[in-house]
Structure 1
Amino acid sequence: MSKSKSNFIQSVDRALQILECFSKEENELGVTQIANMLDFYKSTTFGLLSTLENRGYLKQNPESGKYRLGIKLFELGKLVEENMDLRTSAIPYLKGLVDKYGETAHLAMKDGNEVIYIDKVEGKNAIGIINSQVGRVARMHCTGVGKAVLAFMSEEDIEKIIENIKFNRYTSNTITDKNKLKEELKKIRKKKYSVDNEEIEIGLKCVAAPIINYDDEAVGSISVSGPTSRMNDEKMNLIAEDVKKVSIEISRVLGYKSL
Structure 2
Amino acid sequence: MGTTRSGASFYNRSLERALQILSAFNTERQSLGLGQLSDILKLSRPTIFRLCSTLQEYGFLIQDQESKRYSLGVKLLELGSIVLNSFSLRAVASPHLSRLQMNLGKTIFLGIHEHDELLYIDKREAPESRITFTAHIGARRRPYWGMLGSVLMAYLPDQEIERLLEKNPLIPITKKSITRKDKFIERLHQVREEGFVVDVEGTLEGITGVGAPIRGFSGKVIAAVGAAFISTSVDSRELKKIIREIVATALAISKELGYSEMEQPVPL
**TM-score, with length taken from structure 1:** 0.64
Question: Is residue 128 of structure 1 aligned with residue 132 of structure 2?
Answer: yes
Q: Residue 95 of structure 1 contacts residue 121 of structure 1 at CA under 8 Å; is this kept in 2?
A: yes
Match of 1:244 among 237, 242, 247: 247
Q: Which residue of 2 aligns with 1:201?
A: 204
Q: Residue 153 of structure 1 contacts residue 217 of structure 1 at CA under 8 Å; is this kept in 2?
A: no
Q: Secondary structure at the match of 2:233?
A: coil
Q: Which residue of 2 aligns with 1:231?
A: 234
Q: Residue 208 of structure 2 contacts residue 229 of structure 2 at CA under 8 Å; is this kept in 1?
A: yes
Q: Residue 86 of structure 2 contacts residue 121 of structure 2 at CA under 8 Å; is this kept in 1?
A: no
Q: Residue 205 of structure 1 contacts residue 226 of structure 1 at CA under 8 Å; is this kept in 2?
A: yes
Q: Where does structure 1 lack aligned partners over 5 or more consecutive residues?
A: 1-77
Aligned-pair CA distance for 1:125: 2.2
Match of 2:104 among 85, 101, 104: 101
Q: Where does structure 2 lack aligned partners over 5 or more consecutive residues?
A: 1-80, 264-268
Aligned amino acid, residue 222 of structure 1:
V
String of CA shifts for 1:108-138, please: whole Å, max 9, x gaps. 12213222111110123222112x2222223
Question: Is residue 154 of structure 1 aligned with residue 175 of structure 2?
Answer: no
Spell out the pairing of 1:33-182 with structure 2 (5 A cutoff).
85-126=88-129, 127-130=131-134, 132-182=135-185
Q: Residue 194 of structure 1 contacts residue 209 of structure 1 at CA under 8 Å; is this kept in 2?
A: yes
Q: For this pair of structures, how many residues does the alignment match?
A: 179
Alpha-carbon separation, structure 2, partners of 1:122 and 1:222: 14
Aligned amino acid, residue 226 of structure 1:
F
Q: Secondary structure at the match of 1:91?
A: helix
Alpha-carbon separation, structure 1, partners of 2:122 and 2:202: 21
Q: Which residue of 2 aligns with 1:192?
A: 195
Aligned-pair CA distance for 1:142: 4.1
Higher relative contact order (CA 8 A, sep 6+): 1
Aligned-pair CA distance for 1:165: 2.0
Relative distance call for 1:216 and 1:113 in structure 2 (3 A) is: farther
Question: Is residue 214 of structure 1 aligned with residue 213 of structure 2?
Answer: no
Aligned amino acid, residue 133 of structure 2:
I
Alpha-carbon separation, structure 2, partners of 1:118 and 1:142: 15
